[in-house]
Amino acid sequence: MIKLRIVSHVISFCILLVLSCSGPMQQDFELEGTVVLLDSINVPEVDSNQKAVIQQYRKNLEAEMNRLLVYSERVMERGTPEGLLNNFVADLVFEIGKELYAPEDDKPIDFCLLNYGGLRVPLPRGEITYERVFELLPFENEMVVITLSGEKTLELFHYLANATRGMPVSGIKLAIQDNHALEILIQGKEFDINRTYKVLTSDYLAGGGDSMNFFLQPINYELLGMRVRDAIIKHMQRVHAKGEKINSELDGRITVLD
């Protein structure tokens, strides 16, 4: 009650201060109000009809989320400098992205870069449900193709060389020593600072998320019209429709030399 009185006095003082600054008052007025306590005791009564409707939606949603999506050959977890989960997500997003991309200049996407922190949970061996994919990627991030200059692309690789966690990548091979990129291969070819590169990423990273500031001065920015999570679901649906299981391998796409 003491806190409420203090807040009330502060509000009244602020109102009087504003009015006094606006010139002489033309007429008297009265300020009235009520205090509504919002806590675990003073809560409105639950509407039974609304509760029933919400409960039905909840049951339908739970049934949908618990549906089988695909089976996995093994447990997939994040890793550094690379991990099974890193490679799995980056590879499938890259493949789906290339299918969706229709460039006006006829130049394809060169590689894919996502973020380690965006992968929230591992994928278990055996059944994978829709709920698990939403837990893996609870964000609404969109797939984006960013065209970068050679200089900005080199900054990207410097970022990867100094990262303390393995970033999900696809389409590149990177050798790192003492936080420096010794070897950079893009689609099997040596990096060329004199050309531009197209990078598939998320709109979060394209906006400078995770301090990826090299994305902030793009030559071009193109939305693909699909969420990263939806690309994962689409891939899993395809695999399951073929009667197959998802899998991943470590292939040395990022190596750290002693």
- Whether 196 and 219 have beta carbons less than 8 Å apart is answered as yes
Q: Note the pLDDT of residue 152.
A: 98
Confidence of residue 46 (pLDDT cuts 50, 70, 90): confident
Q: Note the pLDDT of residue 41.
A: 67
Confidence of residue 25 (pLDDT cuts 50, 70, 90): very low
Question: H or E stretch including 161?
Answer: helix 150-162
Q: Please state the φ and ψ torsions of residue 121, each to the nearest 5 degrees.
A: -140, 155
Q: How far apart are CA 97 and CA 101, in angstroms?
A: 6
Do the strands 142-148 and 197-202 form a parallel or antiparallel pair, or are they unpaired? antiparallel
C-alpha dihedral (230, 210, 149, 161), degrees to nearest 10: -110
Q: Note the pLDDT of residue 112.
A: 98
Q: What token pair was written down for 61? A: 């949603």
Structural domains present in the chain: 63-257 (3.90.780.10)
Q: How far apart are CA 163 and CA 209, in angstroms?
A: 14
Question: What is the pTM (predicted TM-score) of this model?
Answer: 0.78
pLDDT at 166 > cutoff 90: yes
Confidence of residue 43 (pLDDT cuts 50, 70, 90): low
Confidence of residue 18 (pLDDT cuts 50, 70, 90): very low
pLDDT in tens, 75-92: 999 999 999 999 999 999
Angle between helices 84-100 and 228-241 (to 10 degrees): 90
pLDDT in tens, 134-156: 999 999 999 999 999 999 999 99
Q: What token pair was written down for 92? A: 């499938």
pLDDT at 165 > cutoff 50: yes
> Among residues 208, 212, 162, 156, which one has the least CA distance to residue 184?
156
At a CB cut-off of 8 Å and minimum separation 6, what does 173 contact? 183, 184, 185, 188, 252, 253, 254
